[in-house]
Amino acid sequence: MFGHVDAGVMHIRPAINMRRKSERKKIRIITEEVVKLVHSYGGVLWGEHGRGLRSEFGPEIFGEVIWEQMCNIKNAFDPHNQFNPGKVAVPNRTFSLSTLETTTRGEYDERTPELVTLSNATRCDGNGECQSISTSDSMCPTYRATDDPSQSPRGRAEVLRRWLQRIEQTPSRKNASFIKKLFNSGNEDDFNHEVKHILDGCIACKACATECPMQIDIPAMRSQFYAFYFTRYLRPMRDTVWL
């Protein structure tokens, strides 16, 4: 649990594994208890994040009168419910609010192969600490130099997560033949190359391994990715030629 005590805002982050169906069921139980608790203190359920997913509690938290007005505003600007449908308010009662049973990222992650180090990418909660520009933080030098979100630990973890979702099974550790590697390497339209390109930019300073609240260790994951990558593709000459 963390938050902004001065503003009275608390973030509740239950330690549950969203990759497991049995664990995901706890979200509703916990949320309903939190709603009751917050209500008993006259508070509101949302301060910053996650309000869309918990929209079904809007009428209860705001009260029918305020919530009705929110729906009127939604109706004025988005009568066909096209912008973020189901989130926070709806134009009229024919549309439904999002519920906690919405598909979550954990469900996609559940289908990804369990690769001990690489699956740590799925632990990134998107907190964005790695995209800080404060001079007191050292994460992440490549993001600061490029201003490109894909060149931050969060961006790299997200790309690895997508890569894990795309590969249907644990990639083989068996080395492809030289001819096969040559053929694979020539195929430029390949997501593996895009992932590698994004990971290549990491300078392995290891700041993310220690400063990230989730300790997303990009260099460790990159090593594992490379181990798989080079079973399919040729290594660059500079990896093998010594001057």
Q: For the chain, how long is the longest CA-to-CA vector? A: 76
Distance CA 41, CA 145 (A): 46
Q: Which residues bind ligand SF4 (CB under 6 A)?
A: 139-142, 153, 156, 202-208, 218-219
> Which CB atom, from 27 or from 157, has the smaller least distance to ligand SF4?
157
Positive or negative, the Cα torsion across 40, 4, 97, 76? positive
C-alpha–C-alpha distance, residues 157 and 112, integer Å: 14
**Dist. CA 168–CA 21, nearest whole Å:** 19
Centroid of chain to Cα 141: 21
**CA 89, CA 78: separation in Å to the nearest integer?**
10
Nearer residue to ligand SF4 within complex by CB, 53 or 164: 164
Closer of 156 and 161 to ligand SF4 (Cβ): 156
H helices of the chain, where? Answer: 21-24, 26-40, 58-62, 64-77, 105-110, 141-146, 153-166, 178-186, 191-200, 207-211, 218-232, 237-240
Of 81 and 131, the one with the shorter C-beta distance to ligand SF4 is 131
Q: How far is the CB of 96 from ligand SF4 (least distance, A)?
A: 40
Q: What's the closest the beta carbon of residue 137 comes to ligand SF4, in angstroms?
A: 10
Cβ at position 217, least distance to ligand SF4 in Å: 8
In the complex, the smallest distance separating the C-beta of residue 209 from ligand SF4, rounded to whole angstroms, is 7
| Nearest to ligand SF4 of 53, 198 (CB atom) | 198
CB of 221 to ligand SF4, least distance (A): 9
Which parts of 52-130 fold into alpha helices (H)? 58-62, 64-77, 105-110
Of the two residues 19 and 154, which places its CB atom closer to ligand SF4 in the complex?
154
* Shortest distance, position 142 Cβ to ligand SF4, whole Å: 4
